[in-house]
Amino acid sequence: MSLKIVVLAKQVPDTRNVGKDAMTPEGTVNRQALPAIFNPEDLNALEMALEIKDRVPGSTITVVTMGPGRAAEIIRDSMFRGADNGVVLSDRKLGGSDTLATSYAISQAVKKVGKVDIVFGGRQAIDGDTAQVGPQTAEKLEIPQITYAEELIDVTEKDITIKRRLERGVEVVKAQFPLLVTAHASAKACRFYNAKRVMKYKKAFSKSEAEANGFDTNLWNQFPYLKIEEWNAADVACEDDRIGLAGSPTKVKKIDNVVLSQKENVTLEPTDENIDSLVKQLIDTHIIG
Protein backbone atom coordinates (compact mmCIF):
# COMPACT_ATOMS: atom_id res chain seq x y z
CA MET A 1 0.00 0.00 0.00
CA SER A 2 1.16 3.48 -0.75
CA LEU A 3 0.36 6.90 0.66
CA LYS A 4 -0.94 9.94 -1.09
CA ILE A 5 0.79 13.06 0.16
CA VAL A 6 0.21 16.74 -0.49
CA VAL A 7 2.82 19.33 0.44
CA LEU A 8 1.63 22.92 0.80
CA ALA A 9 4.31 25.39 -0.23
CA LYS A 10 4.57 29.12 -0.73
CA GLN A 11 6.84 31.36 -2.70
CA VAL A 12 7.75 34.28 -0.47
CA PRO A 13 9.79 37.47 -0.66
CA ASP A 14 13.01 36.94 1.21
CA THR A 15 12.27 39.18 4.17
CA ARG A 16 15.24 37.83 6.05
CA ASN A 17 17.61 39.60 3.71
CA VAL A 18 16.15 43.04 3.65
CA GLY A 19 18.94 45.11 2.21
CA LYS A 20 19.18 48.83 1.72
CA ASP A 21 17.47 48.80 -1.69
CA ALA A 22 14.57 46.80 -0.27
CA MET A 23 13.16 49.98 1.14
CA THR A 24 12.14 52.96 -0.98
CA PRO A 25 13.36 56.43 0.01
CA GLU A 26 9.90 56.99 1.49
CA GLY A 27 10.46 54.04 3.76
CA THR A 28 8.00 51.66 2.13
CA VAL A 29 8.77 48.08 1.17
CA ASN A 30 10.06 47.65 -2.34
CA ARG A 31 8.81 44.14 -3.07
CA GLN A 32 10.50 43.96 -6.45
CA ALA A 33 13.90 44.28 -4.83
CA LEU A 34 13.35 41.23 -2.67
CA PRO A 35 14.18 37.90 -4.27
CA ALA A 36 11.35 35.33 -4.30
CA ILE A 37 12.33 32.14 -2.50
CA PHE A 38 10.88 28.81 -1.45
CA ASN A 39 9.47 29.40 2.02
CA PRO A 40 12.11 27.77 4.27
CA GLU A 41 9.86 25.68 6.51
CA ASP A 42 7.96 24.39 3.48
CA LEU A 43 11.24 22.82 2.41
CA ASN A 44 11.45 21.09 5.79
CA ALA A 45 7.93 19.83 5.12
CA LEU A 46 8.88 18.60 1.66
CA GLU A 47 11.83 16.68 3.08
CA MET A 48 9.59 14.96 5.61
CA ALA A 49 7.23 13.98 2.78
CA LEU A 50 10.18 12.67 0.75
CA GLU A 51 11.33 10.58 3.70
CA ILE A 52 7.90 8.97 3.82
CA LYS A 53 8.14 8.30 0.13
CA ASP A 54 11.53 6.63 0.75
CA ARG A 55 10.04 4.42 3.45
CA VAL A 56 6.68 3.64 1.87
CA PRO A 57 7.49 2.94 -1.79
CA GLY A 58 4.90 3.92 -4.35
CA SER A 59 3.75 6.93 -2.36
CA THR A 60 3.16 10.08 -4.36
CA ILE A 61 3.82 13.72 -3.52
CA THR A 62 1.81 16.56 -5.02
CA VAL A 63 2.95 20.08 -4.19
CA VAL A 64 0.19 22.68 -3.96
CA THR A 65 0.97 26.38 -3.97
CA MET A 66 -1.21 29.44 -4.10
CA GLY A 67 0.18 32.56 -5.72
CA PRO A 68 0.88 34.28 -9.00
CA GLY A 69 1.76 32.25 -12.09
CA ARG A 70 5.47 32.50 -11.42
CA ALA A 71 4.99 30.39 -8.28
CA ALA A 72 5.37 27.45 -10.70
CA GLU A 73 9.08 27.96 -10.00
CA ILE A 74 8.77 26.32 -6.60
CA ILE A 75 6.81 23.41 -8.09
CA ARG A 76 9.70 22.74 -10.47
CA ASP A 77 12.12 23.15 -7.60
CA SER A 78 10.13 20.53 -5.65
CA MET A 79 10.13 18.16 -8.65
CA PHE A 80 13.93 18.45 -8.85
CA ARG A 81 14.07 17.33 -5.23
CA GLY A 82 11.66 14.43 -5.59
CA ALA A 83 8.03 15.57 -5.74
CA ASP A 84 5.92 13.84 -8.38
CA ASN A 85 3.84 16.76 -9.57
CA GLY A 86 2.32 20.01 -8.52
CA VAL A 87 -0.48 22.50 -8.79
CA VAL A 88 -0.45 26.29 -8.83
CA LEU A 89 -3.67 27.75 -7.51
CA SER A 90 -3.74 31.13 -9.16
CA ASP A 91 -6.52 33.65 -9.59
CA ARG A 92 -6.86 37.40 -9.27
CA LYS A 93 -9.92 36.72 -7.19
CA LEU A 94 -7.67 35.23 -4.52
CA GLY A 95 -5.72 38.47 -4.10
CA GLY A 96 -6.12 40.11 -0.71
CA SER A 97 -7.00 36.85 1.01
CA ASP A 98 -6.16 36.71 4.69
CA THR A 99 -5.30 33.41 6.38
CA LEU A 100 -8.94 32.34 6.69
CA ALA A 101 -9.68 32.88 2.98
CA THR A 102 -6.31 31.36 2.03
CA SER A 103 -6.90 28.21 4.04
CA TYR A 104 -10.34 27.86 2.48
CA ALA A 105 -8.97 28.13 -1.06
CA ILE A 106 -6.10 25.76 -0.29
CA SER A 107 -8.40 23.21 1.31
CA GLN A 108 -10.59 23.31 -1.81
CA ALA A 109 -7.50 22.61 -3.93
CA VAL A 110 -6.46 19.72 -1.67
CA LYS A 111 -9.95 18.26 -2.01
CA LYS A 112 -9.60 18.40 -5.78
CA VAL A 113 -6.28 16.54 -5.59
CA GLY A 114 -8.30 13.69 -4.15
CA LYS A 115 -8.35 11.47 -1.12
CA VAL A 116 -5.12 12.43 0.62
CA ASP A 117 -3.50 10.58 3.53
CA ILE A 118 -1.15 13.30 4.74
CA VAL A 119 -1.04 17.02 4.09
CA PHE A 120 2.33 18.59 4.95
CA GLY A 121 3.18 22.26 5.20
CA GLY A 122 5.71 24.53 6.85
CA ARG A 123 4.83 25.85 10.27
CA GLN A 124 4.73 29.40 8.94
CA ALA A 125 5.76 31.57 5.99
CA ILE A 126 8.42 34.20 6.55
CA ASP A 127 6.39 36.99 4.95
CA GLY A 128 3.67 36.75 7.56
CA ASP A 129 4.91 34.51 10.37
CA THR A 130 1.34 33.82 11.43
CA ALA A 131 1.49 29.99 11.49
CA GLN A 132 -2.26 30.01 10.92
CA VAL A 133 -2.83 28.50 7.50
CA GLY A 134 -1.76 24.98 8.56
CA PRO A 135 -4.21 24.51 11.44
CA GLN A 136 -6.92 26.38 9.52
CA THR A 137 -6.53 24.10 6.51
CA ALA A 138 -6.70 21.05 8.80
CA GLU A 139 -9.96 22.34 10.24
CA LYS A 140 -11.41 23.01 6.77
CA LEU A 141 -10.49 19.46 5.74
CA GLU A 142 -11.87 18.18 9.06
CA ILE A 143 -8.72 16.21 9.82
CA PRO A 144 -6.50 16.25 12.92
CA GLN A 145 -3.30 18.30 12.97
CA ILE A 146 0.20 17.76 14.27
CA THR A 147 2.05 21.06 14.44
CA TYR A 148 5.80 21.82 14.76
CA ALA A 149 7.02 18.43 13.53
CA GLU A 150 10.75 18.05 14.02
CA GLU A 151 11.39 14.44 13.17
CA LEU A 152 9.63 11.61 11.44
CA ILE A 153 10.03 8.75 13.91
CA ASP A 154 8.01 6.09 12.16
CA VAL A 155 5.47 5.65 9.41
CA THR A 156 3.34 2.66 8.44
CA GLU A 157 0.57 2.43 5.90
CA LYS A 158 -1.99 3.46 8.48
CA ASP A 159 -0.27 5.70 11.02
CA ILE A 160 2.60 8.05 11.67
CA THR A 161 4.78 8.80 14.71
CA ILE A 162 6.26 12.27 14.91
CA LYS A 163 8.45 14.21 17.32
CA ARG A 164 7.15 17.72 17.87
CA ARG A 165 9.27 20.69 18.92
CA LEU A 166 7.55 22.77 21.61
CA GLU A 167 8.96 25.93 23.12
CA ARG A 168 10.31 24.16 26.20
CA GLY A 169 10.71 20.61 25.06
CA VAL A 170 9.60 17.84 22.78
CA GLU A 171 6.63 15.52 22.50
CA VAL A 172 6.29 12.30 20.53
CA VAL A 173 2.82 11.66 19.14
CA LYS A 174 1.20 8.96 17.06
CA ALA A 175 -1.84 9.39 14.86
CA GLN A 176 -3.73 7.65 12.10
CA PHE A 177 -4.29 9.02 8.63
CA PRO A 178 -5.65 11.28 7.33
CA LEU A 179 -3.99 14.22 9.04
CA LEU A 180 -2.13 17.45 8.49
CA VAL A 181 1.43 18.01 9.70
CA THR A 182 3.30 21.32 9.91
CA ALA A 183 7.10 21.17 9.90
CA HIS A 184 9.30 23.17 12.24
CA ALA A 185 12.53 24.86 11.13
CA SER A 186 14.51 22.49 13.36
CA ALA A 187 13.47 19.52 11.18
CA LYS A 188 15.90 18.02 8.69
CA ALA A 189 16.93 20.31 5.83
CA CYS A 190 15.60 19.37 2.42
CA ARG A 191 17.75 17.24 0.14
CA PHE A 192 19.35 18.90 -2.87
CA TYR A 193 18.35 18.54 -6.49
CA ASN A 194 18.77 15.17 -8.08
CA ALA A 195 20.62 15.57 -11.40
CA LYS A 196 18.45 13.04 -13.25
CA ARG A 197 15.30 14.72 -12.01
CA VAL A 198 16.58 18.12 -13.08
CA MET A 199 17.12 16.75 -16.59
CA LYS A 200 13.65 15.24 -16.62
CA TYR A 201 11.66 18.14 -15.18
CA LYS A 202 13.56 21.29 -16.12
CA LYS A 203 11.23 21.78 -19.08
CA ALA A 204 8.06 21.36 -17.02
CA PHE A 205 5.82 24.39 -17.27
CA SER A 206 2.40 25.70 -16.40
CA LYS A 207 -0.33 27.18 -18.57
CA SER A 208 0.50 30.78 -17.75
CA GLU A 209 4.20 30.12 -18.33
CA ALA A 210 3.27 28.66 -21.72
CA GLU A 211 1.29 31.79 -22.55
CA ALA A 212 4.02 34.13 -21.38
CA ASN A 213 6.85 32.32 -23.15
CA GLY A 214 5.11 30.80 -26.15
CA PHE A 215 5.75 27.18 -25.08
CA ASP A 216 3.91 24.50 -27.04
CA THR A 217 1.34 22.87 -24.80
CA ASN A 218 1.07 19.91 -27.20
CA LEU A 219 4.24 18.73 -25.51
CA TRP A 220 2.04 17.76 -22.54
CA ASN A 221 0.28 15.09 -24.61
CA GLN A 222 3.56 13.42 -25.37
CA PHE A 223 5.16 14.05 -21.93
CA PRO A 224 2.38 14.39 -19.34
CA TYR A 225 4.94 14.74 -16.51
CA LEU A 226 5.97 18.13 -17.92
CA LYS A 227 2.63 19.66 -17.08
CA ILE A 228 2.41 21.79 -13.97
CA GLU A 229 -1.29 22.03 -13.27
CA GLU A 230 -2.76 25.48 -12.88
CA TRP A 231 -6.17 25.87 -11.32
CA ASN A 232 -8.25 28.96 -10.73
CA ALA A 233 -10.81 29.59 -8.00
CA ALA A 234 -13.66 28.16 -10.08
CA ASP A 235 -11.68 24.98 -10.85
CA VAL A 236 -11.58 24.17 -7.14
CA ALA A 237 -15.19 25.28 -6.58
CA CYS A 238 -14.42 28.26 -4.34
CA GLU A 239 -17.44 30.33 -3.34
CA ASP A 240 -16.71 33.93 -4.27
CA ASP A 241 -17.69 35.37 -0.91
CA ARG A 242 -15.19 33.16 0.91
CA ILE A 243 -12.06 34.24 -0.98
CA GLY A 244 -10.12 37.44 -1.57
CA LEU A 245 -11.00 40.58 0.33
CA ALA A 246 -14.68 39.59 0.55
CA GLY A 247 -13.80 36.34 2.29
CA SER A 248 -11.29 37.91 4.68
CA PRO A 249 -12.68 39.00 8.04
CA THR A 250 -9.49 40.84 8.99
CA LYS A 251 -9.14 44.33 7.55
CA VAL A 252 -6.04 46.45 7.61
CA LYS A 253 -6.96 49.69 9.29
CA LYS A 254 -3.60 51.27 8.83
CA ILE A 255 0.02 50.56 7.99
CA ASP A 256 2.88 52.42 9.56
CA ASN A 257 6.20 52.05 7.84
CA VAL A 258 9.12 51.57 10.08
CA VAL A 259 11.59 53.68 8.21
CA LEU A 260 14.79 51.76 7.81
CA SER A 261 17.43 54.39 7.62
CA GLN A 262 21.15 54.06 7.74
CA LYS A 263 21.72 53.77 11.45
CA GLU A 264 21.72 57.30 12.69
CA ASN A 265 23.13 57.62 16.11
CA VAL A 266 21.39 60.12 18.29
CA THR A 267 23.51 61.14 21.22
CA LEU A 268 21.67 62.50 24.22
CA GLU A 269 22.66 64.19 27.41
CA PRO A 270 20.82 62.54 30.31
CA THR A 271 18.51 65.45 31.04
CA ASP A 272 14.94 64.86 32.22
CA GLU A 273 13.48 66.36 29.03
CA ASN A 274 15.60 64.12 26.82
CA ILE A 275 14.72 60.92 28.69
CA ASP A 276 11.05 61.89 28.79
CA SER A 277 10.88 62.46 25.03
CA LEU A 278 12.89 59.30 24.26
CA VAL A 279 10.49 57.19 26.33
CA LYS A 280 7.49 58.82 24.64
CA GLN A 281 8.96 58.10 21.23
CA LEU A 282 9.56 54.44 22.11
CA ILE A 283 5.98 54.09 23.30
CA ASP A 284 4.54 55.83 20.22
CA THR A 285 6.44 53.51 17.89
CA HIS A 286 5.30 50.42 19.85
CA ILE A 287 8.87 49.53 20.77
CA ILE A 288 7.75 49.47 24.38
CA GLY A 289 4.13 49.03 25.37
Partner 1 sequence: MNNVFVYCEITEENYIADVSLELISKARKLANTLGVQLEAIVAGSNVNDLEKSLYPYGVDIINYADDKRLFPYQTLPHFSIVTKLIKEKQPQIILFGATSVGRDLAPRVASFLRCGLTADCTSLEIGEYEDKKEGKVIENLLYQIRPAFGGNIIATIVNPYTRPQMATVREGVMKKEIFSETHKGEVVKLNVNDYVQDSDFCIEILERHIEQQKVNIKGAQIIVCGGYGMASKPEGFKLLHELAETLGGEVGATRAAVDAGMTEHERQVGQTGVTVRPKLYIGCGVSGAVQHRAGMDQSSKIISINTDVNAPLNSIADYTIIGDAFEVVPKLIQYYKKNSK
Name residues contacting partner 1, limited to 183-242 (CB under 8 A): none
Q: Which of 175, 185, 219, 226 binds partner 1 (CB under 8 A)?
A: 175
Letters for 6-35 (x = contact with partner 1 by CB under 8 A, - = none) are: ---------xx-x---xx-----x------
Letters for 79-98 (x = contact with partner 1 by CB under 8 A, - = none) are: -------------------x
The DSSP 8-state label assigned to residue 212 in this structure reads H
> C-beta of 144: minimal distance to partner 1 in Å?
6
Does 128 contact partner 1 by CB under 8 A? Answer: yes
Does 246 contact partner 1 by CB under 8 A? Answer: no
Helix (H) or strand (E) segment spanning residue 196: helix 195-201
Does 267 contact partner 1 by CB under 8 A? Answer: yes
Does 249 contact partner 1 by CB under 8 A? Answer: yes
Pick from 253, 8, 48, 15: which is nearest to 136 by CA? 8
CB-neighbour burial class of residue 91 (10 A; exposed 0-12, middle 13-18, buried 19+): buried
> C-beta of 262: minimal distance to partner 1 in Å?
11
Nearer to partner 1, 150 or 209 (CB): 150
Binding footprint of partner 1, residue count (CB under 8 A): 76
Pick from 8, 56, 17: which is nearest to 35 by CA? 17
Nearer to partner 1, 29 or 226 (CB): 29
Pick from 174, 64, 172, 178: which is nearest to 122 by CA? 64
Q: Which stretch binds partner 1 (CB under 8 A): 45-53, 109-117, 162-170, 219-227?
A: 162-170
For strands 85-89 and 227-231, give the pairing.
Answer: parallel
The C-alpha atoms of residue 160 and residue 30 are separated, in whole angstroms, by: 43
241 SS3 class: helix
